[in-house]
Amino acid sequence: MSRSQRWARIDVAADPPRIEVPRRYNAAVEFIDRNIHEGRGDRFALVDDNGSYTYRELYHRVNQAGQVLRQAGVQMEQRVLLCLNDGIEFAAVFWGAIKIGAVPVPVSTRLTRP
């Protein structure tokens, strides 16, 4: 594995298949940025009740959410509680937290008091 490798690789020829993960791995980079880098920015990444969103749109929202979290003082490895309905906002904040190294902790919006 090269030192500059950005993405995880799977060697399916090996038995059992072998996964190589970069030394500094970030799941948001793997699942969002990689699609932009490999030319899939105009493909659909997410569909919710309000519409459909491309990887490019999601990429921009993820980066914006990450910046907002940083400006709010969220640091690497800190937990971020997410109480959002399913949709683009949830995806943006979830991946934005991961991108800055924080830990998203989703909770259901349907939780009620006992």
d(CA 111, CA 79): 19
Q: Is the pLDDT of residue 85 over 80?
A: yes
Domains held by the chain: number: 1
Residue at 100 is within a domain: yes
Within a domain: residue 5?
no
Whether residue 114 is contained in a domain is answered as no
In a domain, 113, yes or no: no
Which residues sit opposite 52 in a β-bridge?
A: 47
Between 110 and 81, residue with greater pLDDT: 81
Does a structural domain hold residue 11? Answer: no
Q: Look over the chain and give the mean of its residue pLDDT values, rounded to a whole number.
A: 92
Range of the domain at 39: 25-106
pLDDT digits (tens, 9 = 90+) for 47-72: 999 999 999 999 999 999 999 999 99
CATH number of the domain that residue 55 is part of? 3.40.50.980
Report the predicted TM-score, pTM, of the whole model to 2 decimal places.
Answer: 0.85
